[in-house]
A = this chain, B = another copy of it.
Amino acid sequence: MSKQSLPVVDLQAVACCSPIAVRPMDAEQAAVVAPMFKALGDPIRLRLMSMIASVPEICVCDLTPAFDVSGPTISHHLKVLRETGLVDAERRGTWVWYRVRPEVFRQLGALLDVPAATSADA
């Protein structure tokens, strides 16, 4: 479980970024951030992420029934979200609980911010 092996999401690299509508991203930043967007680029993972993000924490047993794919498939997708550092998992007794990593999630959102008066507003 990722409780004891939290993926090192070079938060520095993300946290120091301005919104992409403000300053172009360099290659290293892009290499760190792209996998996160990629992880959200699958409908199932996006829904998983939204289900996890909209509550403090949620049990896998509540996630799986919401989809038409098998348990292992959900587990695979959750693994992608975990390895990308977007979510954190913890086993408590029989069940595994997932929750978002707010710092990572927030930074990701910050990249897409559109500052009030940006040229992109044209």
Contact = CB atoms under 8 A, between A and B. Distances in A.
Interface residues of A, number: 45
B109 A105 contact: no
Contacts of A53: 20-21, 120
A52 B53 CA distance: 30
A75 to B, nearest CB: 19
Given A21-B100, A24-B47, A37 B40 contact: yes
A122 B109 CA distance: 17
Copies of this chain per assembly: 2
The secondary-structure label for the interface of chain A is helix
Contacts of A25: 46-47, 50
A93 interface: no
Contact of A105 (B27, B34, B41, B112): B112
A56 interface: yes
Across the A-B interface, the 3 shortest Cβ-Cβ residue pairs: A38-B41, A109-B112, A20-B50
